Amino acid sequence: MSKTKFLSPGALPQWLSELAAKATVYAPRREGRAVVYRPHIEGEAPELALRPTESAKHVLFPRAEALFSFTKQGEAEKSGRRLEVQEPAEPGPAVIFGALSCDARGFLSFDPVYEGSGTDGEARDPYYLKRREKTALVVRACKRPLSTCFCHWVSGGPASGQGADVLATEIEGGFFLQAFTERGDALLDAPSLAEATAEQRAEADKAHCAADKAMGEIPDLGPAQESLLDLFDSAEFWRDRSAHCLSCGACTYLCPTCYCFNITDESSGLAGVRLRSWDNCMSPQFTLEASGHNPRPGKSARLRNRVGHKFSYYPKIHGGRFSCCGCGRCIKSCPSSVDIRKIVLDAIKEVGHV
Amino acid sequence: MSMQDELKSAVRAALADCDCVIGWGPGPEVLRRSPLFARQEADADLFRADFQAVNNPALFLPEYKGRKVGVVVKGCDARSVGQLVNEGLIRREEVHVIGFPCDGVIDVGKVAARLEGLCEPGEVTSLREEAGAVVLTHPGGELKLEKNDVRADKCGRCRFPNALDADLFIGAPMEPSTGEDPYDDLKALESRPYEERMAFWEREMSRCIRCYACRNACPLCVCRDQCVAVSRDPHWLTQSDGVRDKLFFQIIHASHLAGRCTGCGECERACPVGIPVLLLKRALSRRVEDLFAYRAGIDEGRPPLLTFSLDEPAIKERHW
Amino acid sequence: MSVLAGKELRIVGFLCNWCSYGGADTAGVGRFTQPTDLRIVRVPCSGRINPLFIMKALVNGADGVLVSGCHPRDCHYAEGNYYARRRLEVLKGLLPVLGIDPRRFEYTWVSASEGQRWQHVVESFTGQIHALGPSRRLPAAPELEALLSRAM
């Protein structure tokens, strides 16, 4: 669990081919102005210069997946009608290549929820867990933060290996690769990789230190959990924070930690598919009740939920861990520049004043 | 008094009889401003109307119907205000419009392309304006960019840089820099065979994440929480991740905007994955202008698809 | 079915109840032979036709869509077809940019007495669609494949 290797840039295509021989490899690709994770195509160089627009969560948690498909058999009038159910194919092994540290840490927020923590395993989610088990993460360390990055506020770091199977650090003439898990060791067991030297390890350590140093100060988010609860009923606070929010789903759908879904049946005639698809608390339908009543009638209540969930309700039941990995995608890609950091800090400040 | 100072006093004055004033203030990144909602005089000092004043504040007006609000607008934003008034979605007397001459706004995607190899846009630490240019500071030094090279595409074809029908206009009106819209973007796509055009949409839409930022950023998308895209009955769209559903939503959006879209381009700018969704709306705007000589947000009268005439001189029906 | 054997194409018709559906009926009663590619959906009025009906058909694999209503000035509801004319004419401007040949969609006016005209319209439009051949279809979502393959 501590194998180290060295990857020269010239050997990258070969390593990717070696990985792709055993698993579906997802790598960042530039498409238009965006960088998205796509199944790797032989011979294509992954986009490693820019940070991915989206997170890699859809590899483990697809935007839409068939839980099963069904066909109704027989005549409706007769009592003999049967429902035939087909399960989907088992997911195969996968490797997410070139994810960021924050992406890997995002799955750590998913895990307890889908493992059914607090339910004695009753709410275990086999769909997610099967993929989780079969997916390895090759993470690349960041060198410099964007102005929207704040992984260090939420116990992460630009070169954190948390949740990663392999951490790749750019050093002189290539990448220093370090495995953190047995799965990672297996990925590094590849002919295209060279043994790493002690100097290379030292250089990687130095790069990590430099990256950590570039992150800036860390505010105390300790009071966040209580402050957000205290402000739950403060209509004015949330009105002002959400005034410019569009109530779209860009933040949640790009977020590596947002795990909510919807389940719908899509049918045609006697056949149908039960789909699980992404859902988000910014959407009015998320809480719309069958009666027509909506307990979160407007964007201020929805934004309050998003922030509250990440920095208060989730930590409360998951040992204090924020459901936020600090990747900043929700800020960077928000069409209206809503800044979750500012909301959390404002909340702490607001309550501190009272 | 500089235009920015004029703006601040205009906002301060407007607050006397407005619930709030909507404009642009500091954003989370150097290159991007955030819409600002001023409720107190002290907020007025945060207002800016400049190259980064990208968002369309007209978007928020229908929420405030029944209350008087002030809004700071560029030329394109003013056309959205005009169209909202025209359709009765807001009341003109409830809006205090503060206009200014707009020199175009930044397209962060274009800046990103110019920064390639140097850094990402989020690493820019400062921006200052010089005559017709912006100078960015980044970890490796400075980069001077001509505004013309990094302006949004819509600005290059803008014929109304000064807000129409403003209650108060600050700064000196400027001349539009261009004539008729040549629709070069549409022509480029239309010069390719049909199969390639559909393949283009298939490729572009495949990265759609169905966040509906395009819809929610659209000032004329007024159904808000009642959108047919999320209705289960009628069931226009499935919850799948397929391009058919994704493209079909764009068709819904464009067709509901036909003859109403003012071309502010917020749908396309809001798209987190950069899908050129404005093209479809432009195709319909061009069609509506050709058929009915109507430009949304500029021409008076009912939007052409909400009315008819017995004889349609521009419509050449097929004779079988 | 001959559709699946490739001899027929999928053409969807939206016909108003009062004129064109009657016209198609008149053609049938008069035993005017017609190609059988067209599948007709009867609607109350051409003004009821949401342009999205047409787009939904085309995006989901129809090779052609034909709309027919009452002649202008003859609408059962006085003005439905005037609104329809504007909407349908505008819609034609959207097809090319999507990569759909605009000839795959036509609209026309056929009255209840015009059986022969209906036969001519169907023959011409079907011929036009056959000349264009099957349309290129956007792929279905993989997670819906099970549904679509069994729904056939």
Average pLDDT over residues B90-95: 98
- Contact criterion met (CB < 8 Å) for C144 and A271: no
pLDDT classification of C5: cutoffs 50, 70, 90: low
How does pLDDT run across B149-176, given as a tens digit for each residue?
999 999 999 999 999 999 999 999 999 8
Looking at the complex, report in whole angstroms how far the Cα of residue C29 sits from the nearest Cα belonging to chain B: 22
* B275 CA: distance to closest CA in chain C (Å): 14
Q: Look up residue C99 and give its two tokens.
A: 């990569």
ipTM of this complex prediction, to 2 decimal places: 0.95
CA distance to partner chain C, nearest, from residue A59 (Å): 14
A64·C143 Cβ contact <8 A: yes
**Domain coordinates in residue numbering, chain C:** 2-151
Q: Which of A71, A88, A266 sits opposite C150 (nearest CB)?
A: A71
- List strands edge to edge, sheet with A261-268: A82-86, A64-73, A271-278, A261-268
Contact (Cβ atoms closer than 8 angstroms) between residue B138 and residue B121: no
User: Taking the mean position of all CA atoms in its chain, how far away is CA B185?
Assistant: 17
Phi and psi at residue C123, in whole multiples of 5°? Answer: -60, -45
User: Which candidate in B31, B119, B204, B209 is best for mutational testing of the A interface (most A CBs within 10 A)?
Assistant: B209
What's the confidence (pLDDT) of residue B86?
94
Mean pLDDT of chain B: 96
pLDDT, residue A77, reads 60
Taking CA–CA distances from B25, the nearest residue in chain A reads A337
pLDDT at B38: 97
CA-nearest of A35, A143, A158, A147 to A105 is A158
Q: For residue C131, which of C2, C11, C17 has the smallest C-alpha distance? A: C11
Q: Is A272 on the interface with C (CB under 8 A)?
A: yes
pLDDT (tens digit, 9 = 90+) per residue, A19-66?
999 999 999 999 999 999 999 999 999 999 999 999 999 999 999 999
Kindly report the average pLDDT of chain C as a whole number: 93
Query: E strands within chain B?
Result: 20-29, 32-38, 69-73, 95-99, 126-130, 133-138, 141-146, 168-169
- State mean pLDDT over A253-264: 98
C6 pLDDT above the threshold of 80: no
Relative orientation angle of helices A235-242 and A340-353, to the nearest 10 degrees: 150
Assess A67–C contact: CB distance below 8 Å, yes or no: no
Q: Which member of A147, A264, A336 has the closest CB to residue B35? A: A336
In 3D, which of B68, B69, B21 has the Cα closest to residue B41? B21
Q: What are phi and psi of B134, to 5 degrees?
A: -125, 145
Q: Which of A173, A204, A228, A212 is CA-nearest to residue A348? A: A228
Give the whole-angstrom CA distance, residue B304 versus residue A335.
30
pLDDT tens digits along B127-144:
999 999 999 999 999 999
Q: Which among A62, A64, A266 has the least Cβ separation from residue C147?
A: A266
Could you give the CA distance from residue A147 to residue A337 in angstroms, rounded to a whole number?
A: 13
Q: What is the rounded distance in angstroms from the CA atom of residue B308 to the CA atom of residue A273?
A: 43
Between positions 78 and 97 of B, the ones with CB within 8 A of A are none
Each residue's pLDDT tens digit, C71-94: 999 999 999 999 999 999 999 999
Which residues 199-238 on chain B approach chain C with CB closer than 8 angstroms? 199-202, 236, 238
Separation between Cα atoms, residue A92 and residue C146, nearest integer Å: 19
Q: What is the pLDDT of residue C106?
A: 98
Share of chain C above pLDDT 70, in %: 92
Record: contact B279-C97, CB cut-off 8 A: yes
Contact yes or no for A254 and B203 at CB 8 A: no
Distance spanning both ends of chain A, measured CA to CA:
50
For chain B, report the end-to-end CA distance as a whole number of angstroms: 67
What's the pLDDT band for A104 if we cut at 50, 70, 90?
A: very high
What per-residue confidence (pLDDT) applies to A81?
A: 72
Q: CB neighbours of C102 closer than 8 A, spacing ≥ 6?
A: C92, C95, C96
pLDDT on residue A1 = 65
Tokens of B296: 């949304």
Smallest CA–CA distance from C54 into chain B, residue:
B251
> How many Å from the N-terminal Cα to the C-terminal Cα in chain C?
11
Domain ranges of chain A: 1-60+92-215, 219-354
Nearest to C69 by CA among C55, C57, C80: C80
Residue in A31, A51, A278 closest to B120 by CB: A51
Contacting residues of A for B26, CB less than 8 Å apart: none
Whether residue A89 lies within 8 A of chain C, CB to CB, comes out as no
The whole-chain average pLDDT of chain A stands at: 95
Mean pLDDT, residues B223-250: 95
- Looking at the domain covering C2-151, what would its CATH class be? alpha beta
At residue B178, the pLDDT reads 83
* Interchain CB distance below 8 Å, A249 and B36: no
- pLDDT surpasses 70 at B242: yes
> Region C127-145: what's the mean pLDDT?
92
Cα–Cα distance, C32 to C23 (Å, whole number): 11
Give the pLDDT confidence score for residue A57 in this predicted structure: 98
In sequence order, the β-bridge partners of residue B141 are B138
Using the Cβ of C99 and the Cβ atoms of chain B, whether some distance falls under 8 Å is answered with: yes
pLDDT at B179 over 90: no
Put simply, the answer to whether C141 touches B186 (Cβ < 8 Å) is no
The predicted-structure confidence for A188-214, as pLDDT tens digits, reads as follows 999 999 999 999 999 999 999 999 999
> Which residues in C lie closer than 8 A to residue A266 (C-beta atoms)?
144, 147
Q: Which helix (H) or strand (E) is A135 found in, with range? A: strand A135-140
The predicted structure's pLDDT at residue C2: 47
State pLDDT tens for residues B284-300.
999 999 999 999 999 98
pLDDT at A151 over 70: yes
What is the mean pLDDT of the segment spanning C113-141?
A: 95
Helix, strand or coil for residue B142? strand
Is B67 buried (19+), middle (13-18) or exposed (0-12) by CB count in 10 A? exposed
**Residue B117 — pLDDT band, cuts 50, 70, 90?**
very high
Q: How confident is the model at residue C1 (pLDDT cuts 50, 70, 90)?
A: very low
Q: How far is C83 from chain A (nearest CA, A)?
A: 32
What confidence tens digit (pLDDT) does each residue in C19-52 have?
A: 999 999 999 999 999 999 999 999 999 999 999 9
Phi, psi of B230 (to 5 degrees): -110, 5
Interface test with C, best of A73, A266, A276 (most C CBs within 10 A): A266
CA distance B29 to B121: 9
In angstroms, rounded to a whole number, what is the distance separating the alpha carbons of residues B188 and B204? 16
> What is the pairing mode between strands A174-179 and C105-109?
unpaired
Q: By the CB < 8 Å criterion, does B60 face chain A?
A: yes
Q: For C91-111, what is the mean pLDDT? A: 97
Q: Is A246 in Cβ contact with B216 (below 8 Å)?
A: yes
